[in-house]
A and B are shown apart, each in its own frame.
Chain A
Amino acid sequence: MPVLQAASGARTWRQRDRRRTLLSYLGWLIGLIVLAICVRFIAGSTLWFFVWDAPRQAAALVDRMFPPDLSYLARLWAPIWDTINIATLGTLMALAISVPVAFMAARNTTPHPAVRQFALLIMVTSRSVSALIWALLLVSILGPGLLAGILAVGLRSIGFCSKLLFEAIEEIDPKPLEALSSTGASGSQVVGYGIVPQVAPAFAGISVYRWDINIRESTVVGLVGAGGIGLQLDASIDSLRWAQVTTIFVLILVLVVIAEWVSARVRAAIR
């Protein structure tokens, strides 16, 4: 801990010594310069006329959004059911695929390092493309509908689920496995009685956690035509029926809150 000694002999405590202070100032300077360049770029490609008009637009928007059109609620139950199905079936699909991927990726269960790299590549690809982009691609291939939504949500979730699952597999206690194989258990028995019971709680937690995230994702995949309540949202926005948009928002909010509550309860029960 650096202590500065002034000419008068007074000693003051400082958090950093002089070199580290200068370095941190330099870091801040570079960061601010980058930020300034970025701000200039964005300012350059903005039509400021619309921005100065924003408060009026916002006021008009709020005016048109309230009161919400509650009669529209009756036509939203089917889309909400579809939304829940996209999330649930997508999660199930992702879990079915991520189990083998996770076993291929975990250092202690992978058949070969090359297989491990392949599994890691699957995870990165799945995770770096968001569900909406997957949905865009799939709608273009399969046509609009629930199937594209389910596959989009599922493909996006594979990376997430298998990453968390393979980390859980790598953290298991190796002693039960040794004990099992020393009794002459076969490979599948070692997995079934040694690994599965150790990762099952983590697996359940990951599933519910991802299901909760997928409920949010599945509310928007409809914006690009992949089914669910997003389709209704898109239609209402395109036809400027903002009172219906408010209704849809309230419904989405309720759905998301319920999903989060269920997921939190289940995860608390597992722990």
Chain B
Amino acid sequence: MTAQSLKGRPWRKRPTIANPYVRWAAILAAVTYLVLAGSTLDVDWARVARGLDRARSMFAGFMQPDFTSRWSAIRTGILESLTMTVVATALGIVLSVPFACGAARIISPTPIYLLCRAVIAVTRSFQEIVIAIFFVVMIGFGPLAGALTLAFATIGFLGKLLAEDIEDIDPRPLEAIRATGGSWLQSMAYGVVPQIAPRFVGLSVYRLDINFRESSVIGIVGAGGIGAALNTAISRYEYDVTAAILIIIVGLVFIAEYASGVIRKRVQ
């Protein structure tokens, strides 16, 4: 074959969508959407321009964070966040186990399965902050509302992931224990638990990490934690205090994430 015969149409990468009509329709739809969305954006550029000054003072605040002048508020906030995280995770783990077992098809009857799935779906659909509003309305301001919020959210998270793990286990050990005459409790303890325990520990530690992150937010609506101090600092335009709080949050999250990564690596 000569070089001449190889000439002609050069090779091109095939387009992702083979049908040209569908391809152009998709592009047109995307452009239309962007134009529509952009037209309803309605940005007040004068306000944005005025904001540049604030951005500058915020940047200055990050260069010189002020840890001292509001230290007592920051300290209370951090303590509340940490305690809320621990209590909520412990409570959430205890509550999520029955829901996870119920939501695992292989070990639970259909009515219980559907009920547990519904509870998990509802707890997962709402953001922590929305749940926090409700708990604050019901039991008043303070870290108890926050702890209950995070525990509630933990049920949905752990329940769903743990249920999937239970459904994925190897059924043979379970069968073997049943075949030797083990009771239901024994088959759970020696057939199911050892198989899911490492994943369970990993997920719990991961959730601990998430709960801390969320505990810094729900204070905005009065559910305790560092969020309240942060909200106050921002609305007073005290950007140096804001910077100090954010640095503490990022630092603690970083430590929590690192620790949870190490623990998860060790148990798996």
Interface residues of B in 108-130 (CB under 8 A from A): 125-127, 129-130
Chain B nearest CB from A211 CB (Å) reads: 13
Contact (Cβ within 8 A) B54 A140: yes
Contact of A47 among B43, B79, B142 (CB under 8 A): B142
Q: Which residue of B lies closest to A138 (CB)?
A: B51
Asked if residues B216 and A141 are in contact (CB atoms below 8 Å), the reply is: no
A128–B87 touching, CB < 8 Å: no
Give min CB distance, A202 to chain B, whole Å.
14
> Smallest CB-CB separation from A139: which chain B residue?
B234
In the complex, chain B residues whose CB is within 8 Å of the CB of A219? 127, 130
Partner of B41 from A43, A61, A85, A142 at Cβ < 8 Å: A85
Picked from B55, B143, B246, the residue with its CB within 8 Å of the CB of A133 is B246
Residues in A with CB closer than 8 Å to B90 are 35
Q: Which of the candidate stretches B19-27, B170-178, B248-256 sits at the interface with the other chain?
A: B248-256
A70 at the interface (CB under 8 A from B): no
Q: Distance in Å from the Cβ of A261 to the closest Cβ of chain B?
A: 12
The residue on A at minimum CB distance from B85 is A38
Q: Is the CB of A147 within 8 A of B142?
A: no
Report the bound CA distance from A245 to B23 in whole Å.
41
**Number of residues on chain A facing chain B (CB within 8 A):** 56
Report the Cα distance A249→B50, complex, angstroms.
35
| B contact patch SS | helix
Find out whether the CB atom of B83 lies under 8 angstroms from the CB atom of A38: yes
A155 close to B (CB within 8 Å)? no
Closest to A128 in B: B253
Interface segment, A99-107, A111-119, A167-175, A252-260? A252-260
Known: A89-B37, A140-B237, A141-B54. A61 touches B137 (CB 8 A): yes
Contact of B87 among A35, A88, A89 (CB under 8 A): A35
Q: Which residues of B contact A253 (CB under 8 A)?
A: 125-126
In the complex, which of the residues B13, B42, B133, B227 contacts A145, with contact meaning CB atoms closer than 8 Å? B42
| Contact-residue bracket for chain B | 35 or more
Cross-chain contact of A147 among B13, B43, B55, B234 (Cβ < 8 A): B43
Given A130-B213, A141-B54, the answer on whether A125 and B44 have CB atoms closer than 8 Å is no
A73: which B residues are within 8 A, CB to CB?
none
List residues 223-263 of chain B with CB under 8 A from any CB of chain A.
224, 227, 230-231, 234-235, 237, 242, 246, 249-250, 253-254, 257
Shortest beta-carbon distance, B156 to chain A, in Å? 12
**Does B163 count as interface, using CB distance less than 8 angstroms?**
no
B residues within 8 A CB of A193? Answer: 13
Contacts of A136 in B (CB 8 A): 220, 230-231, 234
Per DSSP, chain A at the interface is helix
Question: Do the beta carbons of A220 and B138 come within 8 Å of each other?
Answer: no
Q: Are B40 and A57 in contact (CB under 8 A)?
A: no
With beta carbons under 8 angstroms apart, the residue of B86, B216, B234 that contacts A130 is: B216
Is A266 interfacial (CB-CB < 8 Å)?
Answer: no
Assess whether B47 is interfacial by the CB under 8 Å rule: yes
Q: Point out the residues of chain B lying under 8 angstroms from A50, CB to CB.
A: 139-140
- Give the chain B neighbours of A58 by CB distance below 8 A: 138
A81 near B: Cβ within 8 Å?
yes
- Report B-chain residues with C-beta under 8 Å of the C-beta of A233: 130
Question: Is B144 interfacial (CB-CB < 8 Å)?
Answer: yes
Contact B234 A142 (CB under 8 A): no
Min CB distance A185 to B, Å, is 13
Interchain CB contact under 8 A, B254 and A124? yes
Interface bits B193-236 vs A (CB < 8 Å: 1, else 0): 00000000000000000000110110011001001001100110
The CA of A249 and the CA of B227, in the complex, are separated in Å by 24
Q: What's the minimum C-beta distance from A52 to chain B, rounded to whole angstroms? A: 9
Min Cβ gap A57→B in Å is 5
Say whether A129 faces chain B, with CB atoms less than 8 Å apart: yes
Measured CA separation A51–B33 after assembly (Å) = 48
Mark contacts of A57-89 with chain B using CB atoms, 8 A cut-off: 1 yes-contact digit, 0 otherwise: 110010000000000000000000110010011
Find B129's partner among A35, A38, A132, A141 (CB 8 Å cutoff). Answer: A132
Instruction: Tell me whether A220 and B130 are in contact (CB under 8 A).
Output: yes
Please list 16 pairs of residues, one from A and one from B, whose beta carbons are closer than 8 Å in the complex, sorted by A's number. Answer: A45-B224, A61-B137, A89-B37, A124-B250, A133-B249, A140-B58, A140-B237, A141-B55, A143-B48, A143-B51, A145-B42, A146-B42, A219-B130, A220-B129, A223-B129, A223-B220
Given A45-B224, A61-B138, list of 5 further CB < 8 A pairs?
Answer: A45-B142, A53-B139, A81-B40, A140-B237, A253-B126
